[in-house]
Amino acid sequence: MSDPICPLCDRPIPKDVPQSLHHLVPKLKGGKGGPTVLLHHICHKEIHATLTEAEIARDYATPEALRAHPRLAKFARWVSKRPPDFLSKVPGKRGGRR
């Protein structure tokens, strides 16, 4: 069986690398029990460093919408060139989010 593919960066997610389940609609915004996607942990951290829970629920509740966000698209292009087990510190929340 092949490894699942991260819907943000399109890299495989081997069993032995840090990974996270992302609620497409945040639990605090009514997404408890809703759809989830498996992501690399670094990709999941980048989503939450970029967007608020309200922004995710309102405008970014699909993998396609997440990939279309300018900062997340840039991150995905950058991280897609790294091996699946690549880890890095994710910067904290940035001011002036859009």
**What is the model's pTM?**
0.86
pLDDT in tens, 26-35: 999 998 999 9
Task: List strand residue ranges (DSSP E) for the chain, in order.
Answer: 19-23, 36-40
Give residues with Cβ within 8 angstroms of 25, minimum separation 6: 31, 34, 35, 56, 57, 61
Query: Alpha-carbon distance 13 to 88, whole Å?
Result: 16
pLDDT in tens, 66-89: 999 999 999 999 999 998 888 876
Q: What is the pLDDT of residue 1?
A: 78
| Domain residue limits, the chain | 19-79
Nearest Cα to 46, choosing from 98, 94, 95, 96? Answer: 94
> Residue 91's Cα: distance from chain center in Å?
14
